[in-house]
Amino acid sequence: MVGKVAMLVLVGALMAASLLVVRQQRLHAVREMAEAAERAARFDRTLWRVRVEIARRITPEGVHQMAADMGPLLPIPTPWSDPVLALAEVSGTPQTQHDTPPPAQPVRHAAPTPAPAPDSGDRIRRDRLADSGSQRR
């Protein structure tokens, strides 16, 4: 009888220890998720600071000057902007270099435009999303 009680106490102690381990792992995972969310928020703040700085430094006159310095710009050929590529895609024939004449001069593509700075509407939308996420919990 004493052996059975000792075994029950031992099994109970092992179960309690395993529950403590699972609880500790859960707390560790929650802490890591919170740290990751904080890092993401920090990166977002840095990204917006850089975007604001770019927007401050770039003026329409500066963009026109950069474009003039680069010479003539051509769009990047895509099937929806180039009729030859669109016909090749529709007909299923692959486009080769021999289908179109080579360009007379090196092609320079325009740089993508920077994203606009956030406005108060973005902040309101983020706040509403955050509020709706907290209500679900």
Print the domain residue range for 28. 16-57
Could you tell me if residue 95 is inside a domain?
yes
Q: Once rounded to an integer, what is the mean pLDDT over residues 39-54?
A: 96
Can you tell me whether residue 109 is helix, strand or coil? strand
How many domains is the chain partitioned into structurally? 2
Assess whether 24 and 47 both reside in one domain: yes
- Rounded Cα–Cα distance for residues 96 and 31 (Å): 55
The pLDDT of residue 10 is above 80: yes
Q: Are 84 and 100 in contact (CB under 8 A)?
A: yes
Q: Residue 41 — pLDDT band, cuts 50, 70, 90?
A: very high
Q: Residue 22 — pLDDT band, cuts 50, 70, 90?
A: very high
Assess whether 75 and 101 both reside in one domain: yes
Which residue in the block uniquely carries the two structure tokens 């700075």? 117
Could you tell me if residue 133 is inside a domain?
no
Per-residue model confidence (pLDDT) at position 137: 45
Q: What is the pLDDT of residues 114-129, one digit of tens each?
A: 655 555 555 555 666 6
Q: Are 109 and 76 in contact (CB under 8 A)?
A: yes
